[in-house]
A and B are shown apart, each in its own frame.
Chain A
Amino acid sequence: MKVDTAKCLHCGGCVGSCPRNAIFLCDFILTFNGDCNLCGRCVRLCPVGALEPEARQ
């Protein structure tokens, strides 16, 4: 996932709503681990639209 750090409010909502528990938030840094299957739920739910799907390198 691509995080628009200028938009993200670090609310952590995506963390709790991720069906695979693949998102971690510490302060201002949102990270996705290998369990993310790009289901897009966080993209859809983000209150400010700070997330964008992006295939992992």
Chain B
Amino acid sequence: MKELRCEVLVVGAGPAGGMAAKSCAERGIATILIEKKPEIGAPLRCAEGVSKKMFKEIGVEPRPEWIRADMKGAIIRSPDGTAFQLDEAKAGAEVGYVLERHLFDKGISELAALAGARILMRTWMTGPIREGGRIVGARCVSMGEPLDIYCDCIVGADGVESQVGRWCGIDTNLKLNDIEPCIQYRMAGCECSMEFCEFILGRSIAPGGYLWIFPKGHGVANVGIGIMGTFAKDGVRPKQFLDKFIAEDPRFRNAQVLEIDAGFDSTCPGLEGGYSADNVLLVGDSARLIDPITGGGIGHACVSGMYAGEVLAECKKKGDYSAKALAAYDRRIRDRMEDSLYRDWMAKERLAELDDETINQLVRLISTADIEHVNVQNLLVAIKEKFPKVVEGFEDLI
């Protein structure tokens, strides 16, 4: 049996895993990053939107090739076509980039490699190695050969698929209402705005979710949809809603699909039982850190990866990777994200209950309200004033 030894093993080379490996390696931790697929960042399972402020928070200068389009704002559209346009001046830091994920993900892993992390492609974990009940490493398969990697801590960055947590005693199971199956077409020949991301709401459009149009320039756009798991069944699948929308919207009459992507979002407010256990912690989508209202996960993924490295450097100093020592990671996640995750989870639950007419009214309201700086928080403030029922039960978070 081939064996390797490191201090931190990161499972999965998406943005969360790449950032975790970079963050660990920069701090002198012997780090191995493994990736199941033969290519980092592909195939795509993402709408590729990210806020600009994220790059500042993680201290990474975005490279031009990572950014496919620079957004001027966002449009929120209700089922009756009412549009609320958010310009950059109003949307501030909430406005973002549409990335080229296969280049961005590789770019982050490249930074991890430059920092000293060892990367093993075509390598996946099949289960933990335990000694006396304690996790001391991971059973892996690397290029078809069995490989045992011994480490002090496993960082689970295996995305929405997330098996590392469940193998290692962290409950990442999702309730049906907190799962959002998604499908997306990358389309060419779209006659939609190439400067604004569009979000289309409504039970008749995307029950319990939304439909998005994220432009990538030159008439290309990611057009996708996510619906709430509780609404999904045979005959009610994301693909049917997306196909119907595209067939009826004249902006796509000449558009052709270049790529079909699918994937699930988690829309829960983080992990109730915590993000770490003895010798294991979870980052990014595997830690269920996707924002429940936007479905965006890249920002939280990168930030959680960065925190993982910071906390693991402390663990290395003390030689202690126990749950108690790793609780510092949980605290950082909770302080930074949990209030907004919970607020947005409540908002998502409420939004899913609304009929199309109420959503029309809501969008009309926010489009006429004078909101100086538009973000989820301030939108909810405006809604709270006119439609207090929508925010009942989580007013204190607004």
Footprint of B on A, CB under 8 Å? 9-13, 15-17, 19, 21, 24-27, 41, 43-49
Q: Is B118 an interface residue (CB 8 A)?
A: no
Query: A47 with B173: in contact, given A11-B262, A12-B160, A16-B264 (CB under 8 Å)?
Result: no
- Docked-complex contact B183 and A47, CB < 8 angstroms: yes
Q: List 18 A-B contacts (CB under 8 A).
A: A9-B183, A9-B261, A11-B263, A11-B264, A16-B161, A16-B172, A17-B174, A26-B124, A43-B234, A45-B229, A45-B264, A47-B183, A47-B237, A47-B239, A48-B183, A48-B262, A49-B237, A49-B239
Q: Is B176 an interface residue (CB 8 A)?
A: yes
Add 16 more A-B contacts to A21-B167, A43-B234, A47-B239 (CB < 8 A). A9-B260, A10-B43, A12-B263, A13-B264, A15-B163, A16-B172, A17-B174, A17-B264, A19-B173, A26-B36, A26-B124, A44-B233, A45-B229, A45-B232, A47-B182, A49-B234
Which B residues from 115 to 140 make CB contacts under 8 A with A? 124
User: How long is the Cα–Cα vector from A17 to B162 in the complex, in angstroms?
Assistant: 9
Closest chain-B Cβ to A48's Cβ sits at a distance in Å of: 5
- Docked-complex contact B261 and A17, CB < 8 angstroms: no
The contact of B159 among A16, A47, A48, A49, by CB within 8 Å, is A16
Query: A13 with B176: in contact, given A45-B264, A49-B234 (CB under 8 Å)?
Result: no
The contact of B160 among A13, A41, A44, by CB within 8 Å, is A13
- Docked-complex contact B45 and A47, CB < 8 angstroms: no
- Docked-complex contact B159 and A46, CB < 8 angstroms: no
The contact of A47 among B163, B172, B262, by CB within 8 Å, is B262
- Docked-complex contact B173 and A13, CB < 8 angstroms: no
Closest chain-A Cβ to B162's Cβ sits at a distance in Å of: 5
Residue interface bits B31-42, CB-to-A below 8 A is 1, else 0: 000001100000
Closest chain-B Cβ to A18's Cβ sits at a distance in Å of: 9
A27 (CB) vs chain B CBs: closest residue: B37
List chain B residues, Cβ under 8 A from A44.
229, 232-234
User: How long is the Cα–Cα vector from A44 to B231 in the complex, in angstroms?
Assistant: 9
Q: Is B179 an interface residue (CB 8 A)?
A: yes
- Docked-complex contact B161 and A15, CB < 8 angstroms: yes
User: How long is the Cα–Cα vector from A19 to B166 in the complex, in angstroms?
Assistant: 10
Q: Is B266 an interface residue (CB 8 A)?
A: yes
Q: Is B309 an interface residue (CB 8 A)?
A: no
User: How long is the Cα–Cα vector from A12 to B262 in the complex, in angstroms?
Assistant: 9
- Docked-complex contact A12 and B159, CB < 8 angstroms: yes
User: How long is the Cα–Cα vector from A18 to B183 in the complex, in angstroms?
Assistant: 19
Max count, chain A CB within 10 A of own CB: residue among B162, B181, B229, B260? B181
Q: Is B238 an interface residue (CB 8 A)?
A: yes
B37 (CB) vs chain A CBs: closest residue: A27
Max count, chain B CB within 10 A of own CB: residue among A12, A16, A44? A16
Closest chain-B Cβ to A30's Cβ sits at a distance in Å of: 11
User: How long is the Cα–Cα vector from A48 to B174 in the complex, in angstroms?
Assistant: 20
List chain B residues, Cβ under 8 A from A21.
163, 166-167
- Docked-complex contact A16 and B261, CB < 8 angstroms: no
Closest chain-B Cβ to A34's Cβ sits at a distance in Å of: 15
Closest chain-B Cβ to A47's Cβ sits at a distance in Å of: 4
Complex A-B, nearest 10 residue pairs according to Cβ-Cβ distance, in ascending order: A13-B264, A11-B262, A9-B262, A16-B160, A15-B161, A47-B183, A12-B161, A16-B161, A47-B181, A47-B238
User: How long is the Cα–Cα vector from A40 to B107 in the complex, in angstroms?
Assistant: 39
List chain A residues, Cβ under 8 A from B166.
21
User: How long is the Cα–Cα vector from A17 to B163 in the complex, in angstroms?
Assistant: 10
User: How long is the Cα–Cα vector from A41 to B170 in the complex, in angstroms?
Assistant: 21
List chain B residues, Cβ under 8 A from A15.
161, 163
List chain A residues, Cβ under 8 A from B263.
11-13
